[in-house]
Amino acid sequence: MKKSIKILLIILIIMVPVGTLIYYFTAVSKPWYEISPINNFSEDVVGDSVIQIHNENLIYGNDHRELKFFPLNNENNLTPSLAVKLSIPVNNKIEIKDDLLYTLKNDQFLILNASDYNNSSIIGNFTTTYYLSDFLIQDNIAYIVSYGSLFILNISNPNNITKLSQSSNLIFGQHSLFLLGNYLYITNTIRGVRIFDISDSSLPFVAGNIDDYNVYGAVVEREANLIYGNKDFLFIQDSIHGLVVYKNNNSLDFQFLENYYISPDTQELVIDNNRLYAAGGRYGLYIYEINNQTLKLERIITHKEFSDVKDVAVQGDRVFVAHEGGISQFLIELGEGPNPIQKEIAINAITGFLQILAYLTLAAVLIIIVKRSRVL
C-alpha cells in the first residue's frame, strides 16, 4: 500500500509540472488581442445614450435633447470635432438607412432626413399612447414595440406613415427586437421571448415562444433583456443567467448550447465580423470571438476601465464606446509575443505547485527528524 502511494506521488510530482509546461507553451502561442487606444472625445455621455456610424460619421444621441454628428473622415485618427447638434431627445436607439435616420422619443417614432446633417429635420412621426422601447426597419416596414403592443408601420412615405397592424399579444415590460426572415423575436423582462410570424404584415400572429431553457438538465425561467443573432445563432442576454446562446435550427426550433457570464447591466449587443460586443454597463466592455466550428464563444477582451458603458459601435477593427467618461475609440490588434493572460495563468500554476511541493518536502523532512529523534 505504501509503495503504491509513493508511486502515485512520484507520478503526480512529475506530471503536474510537465502538464503545466505543455499548457504554457501551447497557450501562450495562441493568437491573442489587445486594445490600442486612439483617443477619447471630451463628450458628456448622459442618460440613455446611443452611438451609430453612418457614412464616415459618428452619431451620438441621448435622452437629454441631444443628437450630435461627428465626421470621422479625418487623417491620422484625430479626435473628431462636433459638426451638428440637434435638439432631439433619443430614447435608446438610432438606425440609419438610405439617408433616413430613425429613432424613438418617448411615445413617438421619428424619421429625420440624414442626407445633410446641417439641414436635418423631422420629416415623419408616429405617436402612440405608450412609451416605445425598441424598433427595427426592414425595407419600407417599421416594427415597433411598446410596453404591451407590437406596431407594424408602412414607412414608404415618411410624410404619411400608415399603421398596418397592432398586436397586443405581449406581456407588459421592457422589450427588445430581433428580425430573421419572416419571424420577429421579442424579448420580455418579465419572462421569455415571443416569436411572431410577420409574413403578412397586416396580420402578425404568435408562432412560438422561448419561455425557459434547459441548462444541464434543469429547466430555468428567464428574464430576457436583449436579443441579437444571425442565421446560425441566437443570443439572449438574461439578467439572471447571463448570455444564453442557442443554435438556430429552423427559426422556430432553437438548441441550447451554452450560457456565459455577462454583466446584468448589459445595455447593448452588437455582432460584427464574427465578434460579439457587449456594452456591459458598470462592468465595462466584453468582446467575444464566435467560433462557428465549435459553436463556442471565446472572450478575447474584457475592458473594465470604461465605467458605465452605454453603447458600442464598430467599424472594422475600430471600436467606439460610449461610457460615463465620454466616447472612446480604439483598435483591436493582434498581440505580439506570448499571450500575457495565459502566461500569467501558467506561471501562477507552476508557482503554486512549487509552493505545495516545498511544503510537502518540509513536512517530510520534519517527519523524518521526529522519527529519528524518537529512535535516539
Instruction: Supply 4's cell numbers.
Output: 503504491
Give mean pLDDT, residues 76-90: 67
pLDDT for residue 57: 81
For 302-336, the DSSP string reads EE-SSSSB-EEEEETTEEEEEETTEEEEEEEEE--
Per residue in 223-261, pLDDT tens? Answer: 677 888 878 888 888 777 778 888 888 888 888 888 887
Q: Are 154 and 110 in contact (CB under 8 A)?
A: no
pLDDT for residue 110: 92
The lowest-confidence range among 203-207, 208-212, 257-261 is: 208-212
pLDDT for residue 76: 47
The lowest-confidence range among 86-100, 112-126, 295-309, 339-353 is: 339-353
- In the chain the first and final C-alpha atoms are separated, in Å, by 28
Instruction: Supply 106's cell numbers.
Output: 418617448
In single-letter form, the type of residue at position 71 comes to P
- Which residue segments constitute the domains of the chain, with CATH numbers given? 2-12+15-24+347-375 (no CATH), 48-283 (2.130.10.10)
Q: Between residues 346 and 42, which one has the greater pLDDT?
A: 346
Instruction: Supply 227's cell numbers.
Output: 436579443
Between the ranges 10-14, 101-105, 278-282, where is the mean pLDDT highest? 101-105
Q: How far is CA 188 from the centre of its chain?
A: 17
The lowest-confidence range among 42-51, 111-120, 263-272, 276-285 is: 42-51
Q: Is the per-residue pLDDT at 77 higher than 70?
A: no
List, edge to edge, every strand of the sheet that includes 33-41.
33-41, 326-334, 318-323, 311-315
Give mean pLDDT, residues 178-202: 85
Half-sphere exposure of 190 (CA within 13 A, CB side): 8
Residue 197 binned pLDDT confidence (cut-offs 50, 70, 90): very high
DSSP secondary structure letter of residue 30? S
The lowest-confidence range among 87-91, 122-126, 164-168 is: 87-91
In single-letter form, the type of residue at position 359 comes to Y
Give Cα separations from 275 to 24, 199, 279, 298 (angstroms): 26, 30, 13, 9
pLDDT for residue 17: 63
Per residue in 268-305, pLDDT tens? Answer: 888 888 888 888 888 888 888 887 777 677 777 777 67
For 249-274, the DSSP string reads SSSS-EEEEEEE---TT--EEEEETT
pLDDT for residue 272: 84
Tabulate helix, strand, coil % of the chain (nearest 5): 20, 45, 35
Residues ≥6 apart with Cβ < 8 Å to 29 = 338, 339
Cα-based torsion angle of the residue sequence 214, 217, 219, 222 in order, rounded to the nearest 10 degrees = -50
Residue 374 binned pLDDT confidence (cut-offs 50, 70, 90): low
Per residue in 119-162, pLDDT tens? Answer: 778 899 998 888 888 899 998 999 998 877 899 999 999 999 99
Q: Is the per-residue pLDDT at 212 higher than 60?
A: no
Residue 74 binned pLDDT confidence (cut-offs 50, 70, 90): low
Q: Are 50 and 310 in contact (CB under 8 A)?
A: yes
Residues written for the chain? 376
pLDDT for residue 27: 54
**Residues above pLDDT 70, as percent of the chain:** 75
**Arithmetic mean of pLDDT over the chain:** 77
311-315 and 224-229 strand pairing: unpaired
**Residues above pLDDT 90, as percent of the chain:** 11
Tell me how far apart the alpha carbons of residues 208 and 197 are, in angstroms, rounded to a whole number. 9
Q: Is the per-residue pLDDT at 199 higher than 90?
A: yes
pLDDT for residue 220: 46
Tell me how far apart the alpha carbons of residues 222 and 208 are, in angstroms, rounded to a whole number. 16
pLDDT for residue 215: 45
Q: Is the per-residue pLDDT at 218 higher than 50?
A: no
Tell me how far apart the alpha carbons of residues 233 and 22 are, in angstroms, rounded to a whole number. 34
